[in-house]
Structure 1
Amino acid sequence: MTPLPPILWLQAFEAAARTLSFTAAGHELGVTQSAVSQRIRLLEDRLGQKLFVRHPRSLTLTPAGQAWLPSIREAFTRLAEGTAEVFGPRPEAPVTLRATPVMQQSWLAPRLLLFHRTYPHVAVRLVSAIWAADFGPEGADLEIRYGRGDWVDVEALSLGDEAMLPACTPELAGRLNRPADLTGETLLHAVGFAVGWPAWLEHAGVVGLDRQCRTLSCDNQVMTLDLAALGCGVALTHHGLLAQREDLVAPFALALPSDEGFWLVRPARRQLREQAALLWDWLARGLDATGGGRFD
């Protein structure tokens, strides 16, 4: 395997290729234009190919430089991500907390309010995530994830067992005496959950009733619950989330238990910064790692 060139040469190439200027690359790297030019020449000598075409007042990449640049960028990105995974972000950086929008609005908002009043010196950065692929250790100190809690390389505290049940306005609930009364109503779907309307309807003994209903699908529960609150239809939601709403009621007492739930998550491979640990301890208060936590 060919030995890798020194990282200073690679940094000079990436910056110069991105800016198409040795001068701009030098400003970015804190060195002179001539230092960047020298590192590029040494790199080209090592590789045996030219990476740039030098014009009187500009640069362009050669075909070899264009082909190599994506690999260099990917390598630097992965290096930055790996550093953050193991060592965490800079000590002075805000504590980054990633969560789904519905958890931000319901469970998290009142807790962050009290945390901010108690620790006003701790800066918190809240990041939204919806799909499973949005989550991961890169760039986040803490997360609130939805799933079975079987992720690798993380410590996870359960926010409690979950069950799914219908939710709608009190006015709509007044004409729903039994599950079969959902016929002709609009069912609001939040996609991506293990337990959806077909599973709940089967549990209620009215298999296939969804084919006799209107449908409106959303990619998050914030929208389905807001639509339900406007009288648009009936949402299927988590028992714990419904408990946070004063504008929605459960028309039926029947709830379908789910093996998925919400979890407070932190990377297991690194120690939390002091400020991140403060937020973890605050949110973990009242929870335990055995799944007996409370979603209230």
Structure 2
Amino acid sequence: MSALPPLHWLQAFEASARTLSFTAAGQELSVTQAAISQRIRLLEDRLGQALFVRHPRSLSLTPAGQAWLPSVQEAFARLEEGTLEVFGTTSEGQVTLRTTPALQHYWLAPRLARFHATHRDISVRVVSAIWSADFGAQGADMEIRYGRGDWGNVESISLGKESLIPVCSSSLAERLASPGDLAGQTLLHAAGFASGWPAWLSLVDQAALSRQCHSLVCDNLSMVISLAEQGVGVALVHQRLLTGRRSLVAPFATALPVDEGFWLCRPKRQQGQAAHGLWTWLLADREDAERSVITPAST
């Protein structure tokens, strides 16, 4: 008997381990949650070890599952690369691009609208990733990631320098003449970024001010921006994401430079003509992000 389990068992394991959900894995693979659960059980019986810890409402990987997952994902990536090398892409006019919901909404959408207007023969499929673990070699022709560009498994090109600036509704901005006026206000945070309010407050010599402010933390920038638009508080947001946001005002002139940024990435493999066309177009268009950013006290 071959040591390699059936492919559909491996697919069930990889999807379940990535999403930590049998239900989400089933949706991704177009089968029921029960089918995924059965395949995982058969796989564990075949291997003689548990791969998941079943909690009442969630999953976690066992040490064996954690150790095995990179090998399985690498095998799938290599299989995909080999298929492309020999047969090329199966849908020459389709491109899959993966990035965060916030970047999709606030930066990518207007660019895709312009791209679509002049490249109607190319079908673009946009998929969402929220956490860093959602990104990877599988399932996308290219990605827009946030970080320092130090990913060894992909080709990465910076979309430009980044800075963070406080923004809020126009009604709230009227009460903020100087950074000291933030006392008593709610500071809106997005989790997962290296730089945030402590760094900005230190930059304007108001490091102790955070103890006089309320805090509201979200796991995504889209929610943070939405709360700022509704007047809930002041958000510290990447200037790149604020182009054209007339519902927000920057009450202070000081922006915080950061050493992280957005990067256009793609696997180190042969690309189809459509994917290369979108890649080239986005790189040519990236200068547009530097021309028009929100400015202090604009509406």
TM-score relative to the length of structure 2: 0.72
Task: Determine the C-alpha separation between the residues in 1 that align with 2:138 and 2:7.
Answer: 25
**Aligned residue in 1 for 2:276:** 277
SS at match of 1:98: strand
**Aligned residue in 1 for 2:26:** none
Farther-moved stretch of structure 1 (275-284 vs 130-139): 130-139
Query: CA separation of 1:191/1:85 partners in 2, compared to 1, >3 Å: closer, same or farther?
Result: farther
**Aligned residue in 1 for 2:210:** 210
Task: Determine the C-alpha separation between the residues in 2 that align with 1:76 and 1:228.
Answer: 42
Query: CA separation of 1:174/1:139 partners in 2, compared to 1, >3 Å: closer, same or farther?
Result: same
* Structure 2: gaps spanning 5 or more residues: 14-40, 52-63, 293-299
Matched, 1:97 2:108: no
Shift in Å at residue 76 of structure 1? Answer: 6.2
1:87/1:270 contact within 8 Å kept:
no
Shift in Å at residue 187 of structure 1? Answer: 0.6
SS at match of 1:208: helix
Q: How does 1:66-77 map to 2 (within 5 A)?
A: 67=48
Superposed CA deviations along residues 177-211 of structure 1, whole A, max 9, x for unmatched, are: 11110000011001111111111111110112111
Task: Determine the C-alpha separation between the residues in 2 that align with 1:273 and 1:111.
Answer: 21
**Aligned residue in 2 for 1:5:** 2
* Larger Rg over CA atoms: 1
Q: How does 1:1-296 map to 2 (within 5 A)?
A: 5=2, 10-11=5-6, 65=46, 67=48, 78-85=74-81, 88=84, 90-92=89-91, 94-267=94-267, 269-287=268-286, 294=290, 296=292
Shift in Å at residue 270 of structure 1? Answer: 0.6
Matched letter for residue 282 of structure 1: W
Task: Determine the C-alpha separation between the residues in 1 that align with 2:238 and 2:8.
Answer: 51
Name segments (4+ residues, structure 1) moved above 6 Å: 60-63, 68-71, 73-76
1:201/1:207 contact within 8 Å kept:
yes
Task: Determine the C-alpha separation between the residues in 2 that align with 1:222 and 1:63.
Answer: 39
SS at match of 2:175: coil
1:200/1:256 contact within 8 Å kept:
yes
Shift in Å at residue 266 of structure 1? Answer: 1.3
Task: Determine the C-alpha separation between the residues in 2 that align with 1:262 and 1:277.
Answer: 19
Farther-moved stretch of structure 1 (194-203 vs 129-138): 129-138
Shift in Å at residue 105 of structure 1? Answer: 0.7
2:95/2:122 contact within 8 Å kept:
yes
Task: Determine the C-alpha separation between the residues in 2 that align with 1:131 and 1:249.
Answer: 28
Task: Determine the C-alpha separation between the residues in 2 that align with 1:265 and 1:242.
Answer: 22
1:154/1:265 contact within 8 Å kept:
yes
Task: Determine the C-alpha separation between the residues in 2 that align with 1:101 and 1:112.
Answer: 14
1:164/1:256 contact within 8 Å kept:
yes
Shift in Å at residue 132 of structure 1? Answer: 1.6
TM-score relative to the length of structure 1: 0.72
Query: CA separation of 1:271/1:253 partners in 2, compared to 1, >3 Å: closer, same or farther?
Result: same
Shift in Å at residue 265 of structure 1? Answer: 1.1
Shift in Å at residue 170 of structure 1? Answer: 1.2
* Structure 1: gaps spanning 5 or more residues: 19-59
Matched letter for residue 276 of structure 1: A
Superposed CA deviations along residues 128-153 of structure 1, whole A, max 9, x for unmatched, are: 11222221222111111111112213
Task: Determine the C-alpha separation between the residues in 2 that align with 1:115 and 1:231.
Answer: 34
Query: CA separation of 1:5/1:149 partners in 2, compared to 1, >3 Å: closer, same or farther?
Result: same
Task: Determine the C-alpha separation between the residues in 2 that align with 1:102 and 1:261.
Answer: 14
- How many pairs align? 245
Same amino acid, percent of matched pairs: 47
Matched letter for residue 110 of structure 1: P
Task: Determine the C-alpha separation between the residues in 2 that align with 1:276 and 1:237.
Answer: 30
2:44/2:50 contact within 8 Å kept:
no
Shift in Å at residue 242 of structure 1? Answer: 2.2
